[in-house]
Structure 1
């Protein structure tokens, strides 16, 4: 690559970063649940890094969701810090109790399967569950609670045996979720691990593929080798 080609390549990358950042900022301002003025965004090679300060962990969660919705985003790094507004903090015991209540009433979670610990407004979840969606459900149940500055989800999937058709089941699920004209994603299953390989056009499509694999009975690990087209 000569100097002229290198300069053109760098200019193209700069334009891509600016375009992706602009789309993300527009999405951020469009979402009424996010205070866009308090969040900064940097983009490099499709990786979006969020910074700044927000008043609740729920705000931080919403900002991350907004970033994932934008085309051109390959992965997300959130460095947003949660700084509770004066008077909005809660005692750790109260936060833990509210979390236990929220988890109890969360549909799809076995009662008592999730243990809660809160230290200086930072919450950690531990325990064993059977399905990947239950990990997401537990996270959703506590992420919007008042007085929480961070959630560390340490739930693990209990080992399950895969049936003989799990690979074809995942492939069929991926085909059902695929958009028109999408390239097929290859599936390989070894033991209880499913490996996905292929290319999709956006981060939401990759997440759909991951969820399809996690939904298969017997899968407790998904190796995601899917790339997002530039």
Structure 2
């Protein structure tokens, strides 16, 4: 019994700092029972390890543990600093019932850390994305979040990111002094700012990374 406190301590440590699970992006080709073909990307988090040799068709359905999945028919990877995000538009989202699928082909897959890789955008925001890496300006505030930040992105050669960063930083700094009371007004400012920036070819996003 003298080891009992140590066992409890180890269990608490495992629960607190244990495996956060696995995150996958699957590039799939699905054949429906009616013979229709659906191709796109599936994002899935699991505590189980994916085995490309075993998890095919019905075994892959069992691995997912879902009756219905969301397929993103088109994505565009974006390099944002040291992070890669997969941008997509709501126009490319398709819901699929797996009991209506008879054949699943896994074209390729990617395992990544548990931070959110997928970046879902409105069609208007998605349309400003161009091939190549964008210019980025990061805006963070420790009072708002320690692991999340706003990012200004643009593929235009002369986008005025510095001026917009300065304005947004000052607004965030002022409102963060009492964000509980300023939250409503700040959110209204944020939505209006995003629309103005899109008109100028600038994308404003909020992204978080794992602690």
Task: Please state which structure has a larger fraction of its residues in strand.
Answer: 2
Same fold (TM over 0.5): no
Higher radius of gyration, 1 or 2:
2
TM-score (norm 1): 0.26
Q: Which of the pair has the greater relative contact order for Cα pairs under 8 Å at 6+ separation? A: 2
TM-score (norm 2): 0.27
